[in-house]
Amino acid sequence: MEALGTEWALDWIRRSAAVIAENKGELSALDRAIGDGDHGENLDRGFRAVIAKLEGASPETPGAVLKLVATTLISTVGGASGPLLGTAYLKGAQAAGDAPGLDGAAVVSLLTAARDGVVARGKAEPGDKTMVDAWTPAVDAATRALGGGGDASAVLEAAAIAAAAGAEATEPLIAHKGRASYLGERAIGHRDPGAQSSALQLRAAADAATGA
């Protein structure tokens, strides 16, 4: 399969914006249960700003697309998730560099750098009931898929499946970071909104690779 290029990156981000808009209410409902109820609104505001910025820009590489996403999310999303997700896209952009296309190994590097960025910034560990619980299984599954000979698309599909499972697996957890950590055992039974929105974005990346 050909490497994933700028069209893929643009499609990824457009699909992310669409799926975040579609799930805005659900994401805020998740955040109402264990936070302050703004996660869907925060992300939707950010992705709408990203789409508006993309209209006036013509980024020429996947890395340039992701850099635009990063700077826009950092300046528009706010809350805990804005700087964290912004850092994910920024580190992903840096890993992509100025390559015109990304093969499976480059996609694994991108995802790993993004996850490492979130961890460096937020200091959450797996099992803390945060977006790290979507990103870390995604990186692990992507790495395994690459090791098994998977191409960029297969790597992203593995990441998307694992991120969705990781988000679901936050439900029984007690939170150790962010607002949800104030709830103690009352957070049990609720899915982490940031893990859910991260899983949606990784599903968008995989679907953009296959044109699904």
Interaction site with ligand ADP (CB under 6 A): 31, 35-36, 38-39, 42, 79-81, 84, 118, 122-124, 130-132, 177-179, 192-195
123: Cβ–Cβ under 8 A, 6 or more apart, which residues?
177
Question: Which one of Mg ion, ligand ADP, none interacts with residue 132, CB within 5 to 8 A by kind?
Answer: ligand ADP
Distance CA 124, CA 101 (A): 31
Least distance CB 160 / ligand ADP (angstroms)? 17
Distance CA 111, CA 106 (A): 9
Largest CA distance in the chain: 48
Residues within window 12-31 making contact with Mg ion, judged by CB under 5 A: 31
CA atoms within 13 A on the CB side of 87: 19
177 binds, among ligand ADP, Mg ion, none (CB under 5 to 8 A by kind): ligand ADP
Show contacts with Mg ion in window 28-67 (CB under 5 A).
31, 35-36, 38-39
Smallest gap, in angstroms, from Cβ of residue 194 to Mg ion?
9
State both tokens at 105. 């190994």
199 binds, among ligand ADP, Mg ion, none (CB under 5 to 8 A by kind): none
How far, in Å, CA of 190 to CA of 169, rounded? Answer: 10
Minimum distance of Mg ion from residue 82's CB (angstroms) = 10
Which residues have C-beta within 8 Å of that of residue 122, sequence separation ≥ 6? 80, 84, 130, 132, 177, 178
Residue 92 contact, options ligand ADP, Mg ion, none, Cβ 5-8 Å cut-off depending on partner type: none
Shortest spacing between CB 133 and Mg ion, in angstroms: 16
